[in-house]
Copies of this chain bind each other. A is one copy, B any other.
């Protein structure tokens, strides 16, 4: 396939290489062009403008850090919407708000362009190994046309339905279920500590059976060791994501009491100076609320 790729940060770079590796033709664009050098060496063409990256492609992928970047790249003058041919697919793979995806869907519909949202689960190492989880939504024929690319990048594709924002919501919901798991663990740790039970013992009890999954094993260990300075994902990013979830839930009229409780701990953690720590630091914030710190 003839593919454009806009936004080659750490994730985008790893994903681009997988596409090249699968034999597709790739034109890449990045606001700061240095990041395209390596891809050029591996066979990608570097576009000087977004328009150049879009024109003539079958699918153009955007992999951008946030809604603001997406709006600029996609809806700005000379952006993806302006540059994409009719019936061409814009495939956006970052984690975006429901509102941003809905606005984009409307714009592409007006321009008779196709639009697929397919946020991914996994970090750069998973991307490099082609082991991402991909949650895709959009018109089924458009999703089908992206299939070869999904196969190059991911281990599994979950098709979330015809509405693009459904993919965003599903992705965000998994993040928030994880955040709630962290908060519940944090509450558990603070409770047992008050009764003289060593956190490591409680962690063993918890992760040995029903919770023998990475989510609990990884974060339980961090909470036991209080190794919040080794950062996988920051408290501030957690806060950004849960705000997206609560906005989506608000728009759809869904009360999410656990998400509220979790967000309050994130806010407290940031207020106490732990914004750039690993988000598992909400265990410290929970301990603080219980008078333990």
The yes or no answer to A248 lying at the interface (CB within 8 A) is yes
A267–B243 CB distance below 8 A: no
Contact B213 A212 (CB under 8 A): yes
CB distance from A264 to the nearest CB of B (A): 4
Select the stretch in A33-41, A49-57, A66-74, A200-208 that faces chain B.
A200-208
Rounded to whole Å, the gap between the CB of A283 and the closest CB of chain B is 12
Contacts of A1 in B (CB 8 A): none
Q: Is A153 an interface residue (CB 8 A)?
A: no
| Contact across chains for A177 and B206 when beta carbons are under 8 A apart | yes
Number of interface residues of A (CB under 8 A): 83
Q: How far is the CB of A121 from chain B (nearest CB, A)?
A: 6
Is A270 on the interface with B (CB-CB < 8 A)?
yes
Asked if A243 and B250 sit within 8 Å, CB to CB, the answer is yes
Q: Which residue of B lies closest to A264 (CB)?
A: B255
Is A279 in the interface zone, CB < 8 Å from B? no
**A270 surroundings in chain B (CB, below 8 A):** 253
Taking a contact as CB atoms under 8 Å apart, the answer to whether B261 and A191 are in contact is no
Within 165-207 of A, Cβ neighbours of B (below 8 Å) are at 165-166, 169-171, 173-174, 176-178, 180-181, 183-185, 187-188, 190-192, 194-198, 201-202, 204-206
Q: Is A156 an interface residue (CB 8 A)?
A: yes
Chain B residue with the shortest CB-CB distance to A155: B208
CA distance A254 to B188 in the complex (A): 10
Interface: A133 (CB within 8 A): yes
How far is B197's CA from A159's CA once the two chains are assembled, in angstroms? 9
- CB closest residue in chain B, given A156: B208
Evaluate contact between B159 and A201: CB separation under 8 angstroms: yes
Q: Is A23 an interface residue (CB 8 A)?
A: no
- With a cutoff of 8 Å between Cβ atoms, the chain B residues found around residue A259 in the complex are 187
Give min CB distance, A139 to chain B, whole Å: 13
Complex contacts, A156 vs chain B, CB 8 Å: 208
Instruction: Point out the residues of chain B lying under 8 angstroms from A206, CB to CB.
Output: 173-174, 177
Contact A158–B204 (Cβ < 8 Å): yes
CA distance A159 to B198 in the complex (A): 9
Q: Is A272 an interface residue (CB 8 A)?
A: yes
Cβ–Cβ < 8 Å partners of A122 in chain B: 209
> Which residues 84-117 of A sit at the B interface, judged by CB distance below 8 A?
98
Query: Are A210 and B205 neighbours in the complex by a CB distance under 8 Å?
Result: no
Contacting residues, chain B, for A256 (C-beta < 8 A): 187, 191, 264
Check: A215 CB closer than 8 A to any chain B CB. Answer: yes
